[in-house]
Amino acid sequence: GLRALTPQDMAGQTVMITLGPTREKWDGVRFWSNPSSGTMGACFAVAAWLRGATVHAVTGPGTPWLPSMISRYDVTSAKEMFEAAEGLWPTMDIGVFTAAVADFSPIPFGDEKFKKGAEELVVRFASTTDILKTLGAAKKEGQRIVGFAAETSSMQENALKKLRAKNADMVVGNIVGRADSGFQSPTNEVFVTDRNGRQEEWPVQPKTEVAWRVLDWLLQL
Ligand code: CTP
Ligand code: CA
Protein backbone atom coordinates (compact mmCIF):
# COMPACT_ATOMS: atom_id res chain seq x y z
CA GLY A 1 0.00 0.00 0.00
CA LEU A 2 0.78 3.71 0.11
CA ARG A 3 2.58 3.37 3.42
CA ALA A 4 5.33 1.39 1.68
CA LEU A 5 6.37 4.70 0.09
CA THR A 6 6.65 6.81 3.24
CA PRO A 7 8.78 6.67 6.41
CA GLN A 8 6.95 4.81 9.20
CA ASP A 9 8.36 7.10 11.88
CA MET A 10 4.96 7.43 13.62
CA ALA A 11 4.23 3.68 13.76
CA GLY A 12 2.69 2.76 17.11
CA GLN A 13 1.59 6.35 17.82
CA THR A 14 -2.06 7.23 18.22
CA VAL A 15 -2.94 10.77 17.18
CA MET A 16 -6.05 12.87 17.73
CA ILE A 17 -6.67 15.88 15.49
CA THR A 18 -9.40 18.48 15.95
CA LEU A 19 -10.30 20.28 12.75
CA GLY A 20 -12.72 22.58 11.05
CA PRO A 21 -15.03 25.17 12.54
CA THR A 22 -17.71 24.65 15.14
CA ARG A 23 -21.26 25.77 14.63
CA GLU A 24 -23.24 27.26 17.52
CA LYS A 25 -26.99 27.21 17.09
CA TRP A 26 -28.97 30.34 17.91
CA ASP A 27 -32.57 30.06 16.63
CA GLY A 28 -34.32 27.42 14.52
CA VAL A 29 -32.47 28.40 11.34
CA ARG A 30 -29.34 30.35 12.32
CA PHE A 31 -25.90 29.73 13.79
CA TRP A 32 -22.59 31.40 14.75
CA SER A 33 -19.44 30.05 13.10
CA ASN A 34 -16.30 30.97 11.12
CA PRO A 35 -14.87 30.19 7.65
CA SER A 36 -12.51 27.36 8.71
CA SER A 37 -12.46 24.57 6.10
CA GLY A 38 -10.56 21.90 8.06
CA THR A 39 -7.80 21.81 5.43
CA MET A 40 -4.88 22.17 7.86
CA GLY A 41 -6.24 19.39 10.07
CA ALA A 42 -6.92 17.12 7.09
CA CYS A 43 -3.27 17.59 6.04
CA PHE A 44 -2.12 16.51 9.52
CA ALA A 45 -4.47 13.52 9.50
CA VAL A 46 -3.20 12.24 6.15
CA ALA A 47 0.47 12.96 6.96
CA ALA A 48 0.29 11.16 10.32
CA TRP A 49 -1.48 8.18 8.74
CA LEU A 50 1.05 7.96 5.89
CA ARG A 51 3.81 7.91 8.55
CA GLY A 52 2.27 4.91 10.30
CA ALA A 53 0.14 6.49 13.02
CA THR A 54 -3.38 5.51 14.05
CA VAL A 55 -5.40 8.67 13.47
CA HIS A 56 -8.62 9.93 15.06
CA ALA A 57 -10.09 13.10 13.55
CA VAL A 58 -12.71 15.11 15.45
CA THR A 59 -14.30 17.08 12.64
CA GLY A 60 -16.45 20.18 12.71
CA PRO A 61 -19.14 20.83 10.08
CA GLY A 62 -18.11 21.02 6.43
CA THR A 63 -14.67 19.51 6.93
CA PRO A 64 -13.34 17.63 3.90
CA TRP A 65 -13.49 13.99 2.95
CA LEU A 66 -10.84 11.98 4.74
CA PRO A 67 -9.47 8.57 3.71
CA SER A 68 -11.39 5.77 5.43
CA MET A 69 -8.24 4.65 7.31
CA ILE A 70 -8.73 7.74 9.47
CA SER A 71 -11.37 7.35 12.22
CA ARG A 72 -13.73 10.25 11.95
CA TYR A 73 -15.98 11.75 14.64
CA ASP A 74 -18.36 14.32 13.18
CA VAL A 75 -19.45 17.02 15.62
CA THR A 76 -21.26 20.32 15.31
CA SER A 77 -20.86 22.54 18.38
CA ALA A 78 -17.87 23.42 20.57
CA LYS A 79 -19.53 21.42 23.35
CA GLU A 80 -19.78 18.31 21.15
CA MET A 81 -16.19 18.75 19.96
CA PHE A 82 -15.02 19.00 23.56
CA GLU A 83 -16.92 15.87 24.60
CA ALA A 84 -15.55 13.82 21.68
CA ALA A 85 -11.97 15.04 22.21
CA GLU A 86 -12.13 14.54 25.97
CA GLY A 87 -13.29 10.95 25.47
CA LEU A 88 -10.40 10.16 23.12
CA TRP A 89 -7.60 12.05 24.86
CA PRO A 90 -6.64 9.62 27.68
CA THR A 91 -5.51 6.97 25.15
CA MET A 92 -3.77 9.35 22.70
CA ASP A 93 -0.02 9.86 22.33
CA ILE A 94 -0.31 13.08 20.34
CA GLY A 95 -2.99 15.79 20.05
CA VAL A 96 -3.01 18.28 17.19
CA PHE A 97 -5.55 21.04 17.77
CA THR A 98 -6.20 22.73 14.44
CA ALA A 99 -9.92 23.37 14.95
CA ALA A 100 -11.28 26.92 14.88
CA VAL A 101 -13.50 26.41 17.90
CA ALA A 102 -16.06 29.12 18.62
CA ASP A 103 -14.98 30.97 21.77
CA PHE A 104 -18.58 32.01 22.45
CA SER A 105 -21.92 30.38 21.83
CA PRO A 106 -25.15 32.38 21.58
CA ILE A 107 -27.68 31.85 24.35
CA PRO A 108 -30.28 29.93 22.30
CA PHE A 109 -33.43 31.73 21.27
CA GLY A 110 -35.19 28.41 20.72
CA ASP A 111 -36.28 26.16 17.85
CA GLU A 112 -38.52 28.75 16.19
CA LYS A 113 -37.26 31.15 13.54
CA PHE A 114 -36.65 34.57 15.07
CA LYS A 115 -38.73 37.11 13.17
CA LYS A 116 -37.48 40.45 11.86
CA GLY A 117 -39.06 43.79 12.66
CA ALA A 118 -36.85 45.48 15.27
CA GLU A 119 -34.24 48.15 14.38
CA GLU A 120 -31.45 46.14 15.97
CA LEU A 121 -30.82 42.73 17.45
CA VAL A 122 -28.82 42.04 20.58
CA VAL A 123 -27.70 38.45 21.11
CA ARG A 124 -26.03 37.31 24.33
CA PHE A 125 -23.18 34.79 24.18
CA ALA A 126 -21.72 32.44 26.77
CA SER A 127 -18.07 31.41 26.61
CA THR A 128 -17.27 27.84 25.53
CA THR A 129 -14.79 25.39 27.05
CA ASP A 130 -11.23 25.77 25.77
CA ILE A 131 -10.66 22.20 24.55
CA LEU A 132 -6.90 22.49 24.14
CA LYS A 133 -6.39 24.25 27.47
CA THR A 134 -8.51 21.70 29.34
CA LEU A 135 -6.84 18.66 27.75
CA GLY A 136 -3.42 20.35 28.03
CA ALA A 137 -3.98 20.66 31.78
CA ALA A 138 -4.81 16.92 31.84
CA LYS A 139 -1.72 15.98 29.78
CA LYS A 140 0.12 12.95 31.12
CA GLU A 141 3.80 11.98 30.91
CA GLY A 142 4.56 11.01 27.32
CA GLN A 143 1.61 12.80 25.72
CA ARG A 144 2.49 15.60 23.30
CA ILE A 145 0.40 18.50 22.09
CA VAL A 146 0.55 20.74 19.04
CA GLY A 147 -1.65 23.81 19.36
CA PHE A 148 -2.42 26.47 16.82
CA ALA A 149 -2.70 30.23 17.25
CA ALA A 150 -4.88 32.01 14.71
CA GLU A 151 -3.81 35.65 14.63
CA THR A 152 -4.46 38.80 12.67
CA SER A 153 -1.58 40.67 14.41
CA SER A 154 1.27 40.12 16.96
CA MET A 155 1.51 36.50 15.83
CA GLN A 156 4.77 35.60 17.56
CA GLU A 157 3.90 37.17 20.91
CA ASN A 158 0.43 35.58 20.94
CA ALA A 159 1.74 32.17 19.86
CA LEU A 160 4.29 32.20 22.70
CA LYS A 161 1.59 33.13 25.22
CA LYS A 162 -0.63 30.29 24.00
CA LEU A 163 2.24 27.77 24.22
CA ARG A 164 2.49 28.42 27.98
CA ALA A 165 -1.18 29.04 28.73
CA LYS A 166 -2.26 25.76 27.15
CA ASN A 167 0.63 23.51 28.30
CA ALA A 168 1.40 22.68 24.64
CA ASP A 169 4.69 21.21 23.43
CA MET A 170 4.51 23.15 20.16
CA VAL A 171 2.42 26.03 18.89
CA VAL A 172 1.96 26.92 15.26
CA GLY A 173 1.00 30.57 14.91
CA ASN A 174 -0.73 31.28 11.65
CA ILE A 175 -1.82 34.43 9.92
CA VAL A 176 -5.56 34.40 9.31
CA GLY A 177 -7.60 36.74 7.18
CA ARG A 178 -5.41 36.64 4.09
CA ALA A 179 -6.03 34.85 0.78
CA ASP A 180 -2.71 32.92 0.94
CA SER A 181 -2.85 32.06 4.66
CA GLY A 182 -5.39 30.88 7.20
CA PHE A 183 -9.05 30.06 6.64
CA GLN A 184 -9.86 28.26 3.38
CA SER A 185 -6.39 28.74 1.92
CA PRO A 186 -4.37 25.79 0.54
CA THR A 187 -1.26 27.55 1.89
CA ASN A 188 -0.24 28.94 5.25
CA GLU A 189 2.30 31.40 6.65
CA VAL A 190 3.33 30.22 10.10
CA PHE A 191 5.55 30.89 13.10
CA VAL A 192 6.51 27.67 14.86
CA THR A 193 7.72 27.48 18.44
CA ASP A 194 8.23 24.74 21.02
CA ARG A 195 8.57 24.27 24.77
CA ASN A 196 12.39 24.34 24.51
CA GLY A 197 12.32 27.84 23.07
CA ARG A 198 13.13 26.97 19.46
CA GLN A 199 11.40 29.40 17.07
CA GLU A 200 11.13 29.58 13.29
CA GLU A 201 9.23 31.67 10.79
CA TRP A 202 8.22 29.75 7.69
CA PRO A 203 7.31 31.47 4.42
CA VAL A 204 3.98 30.78 2.73
CA GLN A 205 3.86 27.12 1.74
CA PRO A 206 1.26 24.41 1.11
CA LYS A 207 -0.57 23.19 4.22
CA THR A 208 0.50 19.64 3.25
CA GLU A 209 4.11 20.78 3.68
CA VAL A 210 3.40 22.63 6.96
CA ALA A 211 1.81 19.50 8.46
CA TRP A 212 4.68 17.23 7.38
CA ARG A 213 7.34 19.60 8.77
CA VAL A 214 5.53 20.21 12.06
CA LEU A 215 5.40 16.42 12.57
CA ASP A 216 9.15 16.19 11.76
CA TRP A 217 9.78 18.80 14.45
CA LEU A 218 7.48 17.15 17.00
CA LEU A 219 9.17 13.75 16.56
CA GLN A 220 12.55 15.37 17.25
CA LEU A 221 11.40 17.14 20.45
N1 CTP B 1 -8.95 25.99 21.07
C2 CTP B 1 -9.67 24.95 21.60
N3 CTP B 1 -10.90 25.19 22.16
C4 CTP B 1 -11.40 26.44 22.18
C5 CTP B 1 -10.68 27.52 21.63
C6 CTP B 1 -9.44 27.26 21.07
O7 CTP B 1 -9.22 23.80 21.57
N8 CTP B 1 -12.61 26.63 22.74
C9 CTP B 1 -7.61 25.71 20.51
C10 CTP B 1 -7.50 25.90 19.01
O11 CTP B 1 -7.82 24.70 18.33
C12 CTP B 1 -6.03 26.26 18.86
C13 CTP B 1 -5.71 27.01 20.14
O14 CTP B 1 -6.72 26.62 21.08
O15 CTP B 1 -5.20 25.12 18.82
C16 CTP B 1 -5.69 28.50 20.01
O17 CTP B 1 -6.90 28.95 19.45
P18 CTP B 1 -7.06 30.50 19.14
O19 CTP B 1 -8.44 30.75 18.68
O20 CTP B 1 -5.90 30.95 18.30
O21 CTP B 1 -6.79 31.15 20.57
P22 CTP B 1 -7.73 31.33 21.84
O23 CTP B 1 -7.01 30.69 22.99
O24 CTP B 1 -9.11 30.83 21.57
O25 CTP B 1 -7.73 32.89 22.07
P26 CTP B 1 -8.18 34.07 21.04
O27 CTP B 1 -9.15 33.46 20.05
O28 CTP B 1 -8.80 35.10 21.91
O29 CTP B 1 -6.92 34.55 20.37
CA1 CA C 1 -10.29 31.50 19.71
Q: Is 162 annotated as a binding residue?
A: yes
Q: Residue 95: which domain range?
A: 2-220
What ipTM goes with this model?
A: 0.99
Q: What is the pLDDT of residue 31?
A: 98
Q: How far is the CA of 112 from the centre of ligand 1 (A)?
A: 31
Q: What is the pLDDT of residue 54?
A: 98
Which residues have their alpha-adjacent CB atom under 5 A from ion ligand 2? 103
pLDDT tens string, the chain, 221 residues long: the values are: 889 999 999 999 999 999 999 999 999 999 999 999 999 999 999 999 999 999 999 999 998 999 999 999 999 999 999 999 999 999 999 999 999 999 999 999 999 999 999 999 999 999 999 999 999 999 999 999 999 999 999 999 999 999 999 999 999 999 998 999 999 999 999 999 999 999 999 999 999 999 999 999 999 99
**Residue 195 to residues 11, 76, 147, Cα–Cα distance (Å):** 24, 32, 12
Whether the predicted model's global pTM rises above the 0.95 cut: yes
Q: Count the domains in the chain.
A: 1
Alpha-carbon dihedral 113, 115, 116, 121, rounded to 10 degrees: -70
Q: What is the pLDDT of residue 1?
A: 86
**CA-nearest residue, atom 17 of ligand 1:** 149
Q: Is 148 annotated as a binding residue?
A: yes
CB 56 within 8 A of CB 15: yes
Q: CATH no. for residue 25?
A: 3.40.50.10300
**CA-nearest residue, atom 8 of ligand 1:** 130
Characterize 38-62 residue by residue with b for buried, 16 or more Cβ atoms within 10 angstroms of its Cβ, and e for exposed: bbbbbbbbbbbbbbebbbbbbbbbe
